[in-house]
Amino acid sequence: MQDKTFLMIPGPTPVPESVLLAMAKHPIGHRSNDFSDILKEVYADLKWVFQTKNEVFIYAASGTGAMEAALSNLVNQGDKVLCLIIGNFGARWSKVAQSRGAVVEKLEVEMGEVIDPVILQGVLSKDVKKEIKIVTLTHSETSTGAKNDIKTLCKIIKNHGAISVVDGVTSVGCMDVKTDEWGIDVLVSGSQKGFMIPPGLAFLTASKRAWAIHEKCLYPSFYFDWTAHKKAVLEDTTPWTPAVNLIFALQAALKMMKEEGLENIYSRHKKLALGLRKACRALNLELFVKNDENASYAITSIYPPKNISVPDIRKVFKNDFDIVVANGQNQLKDKIFRMGTLGFVSERDLITAVGSLEAVLLKLGHKFEVGAGIKAVLETLC
């Protein structure tokens, strides 16, 4: 049976029908009062999701665009940027920084691990001249499924006098991110993740401390310019043509998120991810991120059983159950597979996913107690 695809990748994530239908409406003029009314509501709801009193900008761009939108408004040539790298998306920050002429220092750990606050403290304490102006980090590292303790890390960065620039692409709308309370300076995210809409929108918010650095940026990007965007947000508009239909979709998705409530959204994701991890262990599968404490609630990386290949697992998932799970990226390709529990994913979906995972493993000859995965899920859910 075809046309019943269930995406369990870290993005795009499943999109609710009401959101798809909102998106399918005929576009309206983006300079009309009707569209300003929509933007006013959407901007307010985004502040709520981002847990900030500062403006949240909407870019017609994908998550990588939001990363450029962050650093291209901050970095001057020769500025020192410390990049905390726990996977491919952490490494991407360093490439964006280099593209702006930054001098990049890296604090890198093995994939699957997270940044130890004590080690960060040690690195920063060696920066006695306070040359490090910006520190980039990743909340939920999509390539590994690990999550950093950004609350603690951002506090250390702030105490050092640098600003924190956080990739929240697969964390905002999934895991708690208290932007203002935790003193996060720049936070970016993307639409095709916790926001439950297709890709094409990116979001960014910046603190007063970040604005002070922005004001000294000699050549901020024209397209991503914070100053132009802030002016527009305050007037319920956008500086350039927005992706009108994706904003229709965003409006509908944010309404759903408000109905569910942030705490419920976070606890749902936590329950789904930890339930999946428990199920994997019950099925004799090894998890890439060992410790639940360090695990992202958006995406779970799993080693295949010995003698069973990742492509085979993905193929049977797709062909027999129309479920799409992700391969590992780059050096982790064919070493792990990744299952997303991000966005529009319900408890029922977890039952579906783990039941299908059992079936896939059974078909491929893996040895485990059949039903143990579902039992672990039900123990988590019920």
Give contact residues for a second copy (rule: CB under 8 A): 5, 7, 9, 11-12, 14-15, 20-21, 23-32, 60-65, 67-68, 72, 77, 95-96, 99-101, 190, 192, 198-200, 218-223, 225, 239-246, 324, 326
Q: 237 to each of 39, 220, 226, 234, how far by Cα in Å? A: 7, 20, 14, 8
Kindly give, in sequence order, each residue whose CB lies less than 8 Å from that of residue 263, ignoring residues fewer than 6 positions away: none
Determine the Cα–Cα distance for residues 147 and 279; give it in Å rounded to an integer: 20
Shortest separation between residue 223's beta carbon and a second copy, angstroms: 4
Determine the Cα–Cα distance for residues 268 and 348; give it in Å rounded to an integer: 12
Q: Which is nearer to a second copy, 308 or 324 (CB)?
A: 324
Shortest separation between residue 134's beta carbon and a second copy, angstroms: 15
Shortest separation between residue 205's beta carbon and a second copy, angstroms: 19
Determine the Cα–Cα distance for residues 67 and 217; give it in Å rounded to an integer: 16
Determine the Cα–Cα distance for residues 71 and 307; give it in Å rounded to an integer: 44
Shortest separation between residue 70's beta carbon and a second copy, angstroms: 11
Q: Which is nearer to a second copy, 39 or 244 (CB)?
A: 244
CA angle 108, 109, 112 (to 5 degrees): 135
Q: Which is nearer to a second copy, 64 or 237 (CB)?
A: 64
Q: Which is nearer to a second copy, 12 or 168 (CB)?
A: 12
Tell me if residue 108 falls in helix, strand or coil: strand
Shortest separation between residue 211's beta carbon and a second copy, angstroms: 18
Q: Which is nearer to a second copy, 17 or 293 (CB)?
A: 17
Q: Which is nearer to a second copy, 63 or 194 (CB)?
A: 63
Q: Which is nearer to a second copy, 14 or 87 (CB)?
A: 14
Give me the residue label for tokens 């990007």.
221
Instruction: Report yes or no: 89 and 169 within 8 Å, Cβ to Cβ.
Output: yes
Strand positions, DSSP E, the chain = 6-8, 56-60, 80-85, 103-108, 132-138, 140-141, 146-147, 163-167, 186-190, 201-206, 299-302, 323-327, 337-340
Shortest separation between residue 204's beta carbon and a second copy, angstroms: 13
**Burial profile 350-375: b = 16 or more Cβ within 10 angstroms, e = fewer:** bbbbbbbbbbbbeebebeeeeebbbe
User: Can you read off the two tokens belonging to residue 140?
Assistant: 């939920």
Shortest separation between residue 42's beta carbon and a second copy, angstroms: 15
- With CA atoms as reference, report the closest residue to 285 among 345, 380, 354: 354
Shortest separation between residue 367's beta carbon and a second copy, angstroms: 30
Q: Which is nearer to a second copy, 198 or 305 (CB)?
A: 198
